[in-house]
Structure 1
Amino acid sequence: MTAGTAGAANAQRIREFKMPDVGEGLTEAEILKWYVRPGDTVTDGQVVCEVETAKAAVELPIPYDGVVHTLNFDEGTTVDVGTVIISVDTDPGAGPVQEQPAEAAAPAAPAADAEEEAEPQGRQAVLVGYGAAPSSTKRRARKPQPEPVTAGLQAELNGRAAPAPPATPVAVPAPPVVPAASAPVGERPLAKPPVRKLAKDLGIDLATIAPTGPGGVITRDDVYAAAAPAEAPAAASAEAEAGVPAVAPVTAFDAARERRVPIKGVRKATAQAMVASAFTAPHVTEFITVDVTRTMKLVQELKQDPDLAGLRINPLLLVAKAFLVAIRRHPEVNAAWDEANQEIVYKDYINLGIAAATPRGLIVPNIKDAGVKTLPQLATELAELVATAREGKTTPAAMTGGTVTITNVGVFGVDTGTPILNPGESAILAFGAIKLQPWVHKGKIKPRQVTTLALSFDHRLIDGELGSKLLADVAAVLERPKRLITWA
C-alpha cells in the first residue's frame, strides 16, 4: 500500500476527539482521569475521561463507536480547548492501522516556511470563538535574543553624544563559560517569569545556567546555585577592604521546607474572579447582630413536620428564605451593572448562589429561580447543590447566571466576615455562627441564640439606604420568622 493510500485509509478509520469547550469562555482543562486505555472498545456516548476546568470537574463522552487507538495526554496534563486528546479506530475489523512510512513523508520545509504554513492548518480545527491551538504544550516558541544595545548607540538614541572612551585601557573580563547543558546560542533560555526576575535581581545571565528542570527549564534553585559562587568572592573582597569579618552568603531561606503548587483549576478561576470583582465593583459591607432564638425553635419544629420528612432542615435554609423574602420586598437590589453598554440590568428572577467549600476550592453554584420555590423545594435543591459540589460534579451551567449569593461562614465557627461579590452579582450575605449569648429580651438579660450577618453590595447599584433596608429585613424575618408568612 502506498503512503498516500495508507494515509487516506487512516483518515477514514481514525477519528480524533478534541478537548471541547465545556463551559462559557473556557480555554483549557486538566485531564483528571482516563476511564479507557488503548485497545478498549468504546461506544457513542460512553464517558472516556474526567477533566477539570476553571469551574468544575466534567465527564467527557466520546461521540464515536470503535476501539481506542491512542491517548495523547497523561492524567494531570492541562490541555488547550481544540487539542486532540484521544483517537478512536472506527473500523477495527479492517485489520491493523497502516502506518505511513517515514521516507514517504514530505521533506521538511525551512523553519520560517513551516511557521507560516502551521498557522492556517491550526485554524482549521479551532472551535468557534477560540484561537488556534497549534500545540498541546504551554511552552512558547524560542526566539533569538536581540542584539545588545551599546552605550554609544543608546546615547545616540537618547539624543546625547556618546561618552568618550576611557583614556587608559581597561581590562575586559573573559566571557563566562557556557555549560554544555545550557540553551544553545541564539535561543532564549526556558524559565518562568518569577525565575527570570530572580535572575535579573541577582545579576545572573540565564544563558550561563545549566537547567535542571523538566524539559530544560531553569529553576529557582539553578539561579541560586549560579549566584552563590559568584557572590561569595565579591562579598569577601568588599568585607576584607572594610575590615568586616567574612560571613557565609545567604541564598535561600529553608527552600527545602517549601512546597510549590501550580495555580490552576478552580483555585486559579476563584483568584481571578475575586481580584476582578474587588477592583471593579465598589464594595460596601454592613453588619447586623440579631436574636435568632425563634428561628432556631422553628427549625426544630420543621424537623418534626411529617410533610418535610426526609428533607434537610437547617438554619441556612431559613436564612436563604429570609434573604429571598427581603429581596422580593426590595426588587431593585436584584440587578447587574453592564459596563460595556452603560446600563443597569434589573432581573425579575433570583438565582441564589451558595458558596460551597470543596476539595478543589471554593465554588458558587446557584439555585435557579429560587425566589419562586416553596420551602420544601428550596430544601431539596439546597441539599442536592451541596452534595453535588462536595462530590466535584457541579456543572459549569450550575455556576453561571447567579444574581445574589449566601456564604455560610458560621459552619467554621466564625462570627462573620466581609465577603467579596461574586462577579456579575449585586449582593452577597455572610451568615455567621449562632452562639448562646446574654441578650436583653423583654426588658431582662437572658441567654439567647444570636448571630451576626454581613451584607456586601455593589455601591454602584445599591446605595446605603437600600442596602440597610435589605439587611434589616433579613434580620427582622430571622428574629420573628412568622414574617415569612405575612411578608411572602
Structure 2
Amino acid sequence: MTEQTFVLPDVGEGLTEAEIVQWRVAPGDTVAVNDVIVEIETAKSLVELPSPYSGTVGELLASEGSTVEVGAPIITIGSTDAAASAPAAPVSVPEPSDPGGAVLVGYGTGGAVSSRRRKPAERPVKASVGVVAKPPIRKLARDLGVDLSAVTPSGPAGEVTRDDVVKHAEQASVFRNIETPAWGAVREETIPVAAPAAPAPTASAPASDAREESIPVRGVRKATANAMTSSAYSAPHVSVWVDVDASRTMELVKRLKASPDFADVKISPLLIMARAVIWALRRTPMINAAWVDTEDGAQISVRHYVNLGIAAATPRGLLVPNIKDAQSMNTRELAKALETLTLTAREGKTSPADQTGGTFTITNIGVFGVDAGTPIINPGEAGIIALGAIRQKPWVVDGEVRPRWVTTVSGSFDHRVVDGDGISRFIADVASVLEEPALLLD
C-alpha cells in the first residue's frame, strides 16, 4: 500500500497558519479525490479542504483546535492503486491582493475551495414542524440560529421568506440584551465566541469551580487584534462628530421602499449614508488616501476610486468586506451591493478578496442603539465613519422646537494624511447630504 501525506496548503490568502476546526473523516474511512476531509479557519475565512488523493485515511496528524503552519503534514491517506493516489491537478484560487490573479494551491480538481461559516452548534434550533419554508430558507435559519416557528411569514402562500428570517435575526441581535440577566454564581467569566470545545477538566482546574477561563486567540479574532493594534499605535487618530437632522433622509428611505423600482431591494438609511460618503469623498479626495511607508520614504497614496468597506459583526467576529468601485454605482446598484454584502457576511461566505483593497469604511453602530463612537481606522485607509442610531428628538427649526429624526455622524481619521480642515469639511459634507439628500442630484 502506498501512503500519501497531505500537508496544509496555502489557500491563496498569503497566510502562514490556520486552525483545524473540524475533521470530516476518521482513520479507516475511504475517501475519493475532492471529498472534503477537514474544515480549517484562517484569519479571514472558514475553508473546506478537499482530498487530493483517493484511498483509506491513515492518521490524523493534527488535532481539532490546534494551529498548524502552512506546509506541515496534517493527514495520511493510503492507497493500493498508484494511479488513483497520484496528486490531483492544482486549483487556481484568487489571490486577495489581486482579484484577477491566482496562485497554485496544489490540491483538488475541477473547482475552487469553498468557504462557509461554521455551524453554531451552541445555538440549537427547533425543528419548526408545520412551518412553510423552502430548504434554502431553513438552512439560512439554522445558520443564523433562528427558530422558524417564531418568525412571522410574509410570503404570498404563507411561507417564510429570506427577508423574514433576516429581519427576525436582526431584531434578535438588537434586542437580545434588553432583559437584565441575574448575577452569575462566579464573580468573573469570559464568554467565548465560536471557540473550540473546552478540554476535559483536570484536578488542577475543576470545571465546577472555575473562576476564570482562558480562550486562545485565533483566526479572525487574532487578525482583528493585530490589525487594530497596528492601526491604533501607528496612525495618529483624530475623531470628530456632529449631530444631524436626518428627517429628510428618513422620508427618502420611506419613498424608496414604496417605489416599484426598489421593490426587490432592501432599503435602509445606510444606503443614503453610503451615497453621502461617496459624494463627500469626491469633494475631499485626501480622505480616500492612505499613508504608505516605502524603502524610499513615506508616501501618500490617493485613490481615485472607492472600494467602500462596511464593518460587519458576524458570528466569526468583525469582518470588513468592501464594495468594489462603489463610486460607479447608481442608487439601486449600490442598494443591491449592500444587501448582497450583508447577507454574504452574515452567512459566513465572504471571500478573502472581498475583504482586501478597501479605501474607506462605514460602521453602522446605530443598529445596536449606539449614538456615536471613536472607531479605529481599518489598516490601509485614512478614515472610518460611524452612523449612529436615528431617533426622534426635539430640534429647533425656524425658531421652534419640533420633533425630528436626529442622528450623530462620527469618525476617526489619520492625521498624517488629512488635516483638520479636510476632516471637518468631509464630516460636514456627509451631514449635509443626510440633512438634504437632494444634494446628490448634482
The alignment's TM-score, normalised by the length of structure 1, stands at: 0.62
In 2, Cα distance between equivalents of 1:368 and 1:94: 44
SS of 2:384 mapped into structure 1: strand
CA contact (8 A) 1:31 1:77 kept: yes
Question: What is aligned with 1:299?
Answer: 253
1:60 maps to 49
Counterpart position of 1:29 = 18
Greater RCO, 1 or 2 (C-alpha within 8 Å, sep 6+): 2
Task: List aligned pairs for 1:36-435, cutoff 5 A.
Answer: 36-89=25-78, 91-92=80-81, 256-340=210-294, 341-435=297-391
8 Å Cα contact 1:58/1:395 also seen in 2: no
- Contact map agreement 1:47 1:59 (CA 8 A) in 2: yes
Report the Cα distance in structure 2 between the residues aligned to 1:442 and 1:41, rounded to whole angstroms: 77
Q: Note the C-alpha offset of 1:64.
A: 3.5
> Following TM superposition, by how much is the alpha carbon of 1:39 offset from its aligned partner in structure 2, in angstroms?
4.3
Contact 1:406 1:431 in 2 (8 A): yes
* TM-superposition CA deviations, 1:184-237 (whole Å, max 9, x none): xxxxxxxxxxxxxxxxxxxxxxxxxxxxxx9xxxx9969xxxxxxxxxxxxxxx
Taking a change above 3 Å as real, the CA distance of residues 302 and 22 of structure 1, as seen in their structure-2 partners, is same
Deviation digits for residues 290-310 of structure 1, max 9, x if unmatched? 000110111111111111122
Which ranges in structure 1 are unaligned for 5 or more consecutive residues?
1-8, 97-126, 129-213, 223-253
Indicate yes or no: 2:438 matched with 1:482: yes
Q: Quick one: which amino acid aligns to residue 284 of structure 1?
A: V
Q: Pick from 456, 459, 467 the counterpart of residue 415 of structure 2.
A: 459
Identify the residue that residue 469 of structure 1 maps to in structure 2. 425
> Are the structure 2 counterparts of residues 72 and 294 from structure 1 closer, same or farther at C-alpha, using a change threshold of 3 Å?
same
Higher relative helix content? 1
Q: Do the aligned partners of residues 92 and 38 (structure 1) sit closer, same or farther apart at CA in structure 2, a change above 3 Å counting?
A: farther
Post-superposition offset of 1:390: 2.0
Structure 1 residue identity aligned to 2:224: T
**Structure 1 residue 43: Cα displacement:** 4.2
More strand by share: 2
Give distance in 2, aligned partners of 1:95 and 1:343: 53
For the structure 1 residues 89 and 306, does the alpha-carbon distance in structure 2 shift closer, same or farther, using more than 3 Å as the test? Answer: farther
CA distance in 1, matches of 2:267, 2:77: 48
Q: Is the 8 A contact 2:257 2:267 kept in 1?
A: yes
Secondary structure of the corresponding residue to residue 454 of structure 1:
strand
With over 3 angstroms needed to count, the CA separation of the structure-2 counterparts of 1:379 and 1:39, relative to structure 1, is farther
CA distance in 2, matches of 1:18, 1:395: 22
- Percentage of matched positions with identical amino acids: 55
* Aligned partner letter, 1:393: K
User: CA RMSD for the aligned pairs?
Assistant: 2.9
CA-to-aligned-CA distance 1:306-329 (integer Å, 9 cap, x gap) = 111221111111111111111122
> Which runs of no fewer than 5 residues in structure 2 stay unpaired?
86-104, 107-198
Task: Find the counterpart in structure 2 of residue 441 from structure 1.
Answer: 397
- Which is higher, the Rg of structure 1 or of structure 2? 1
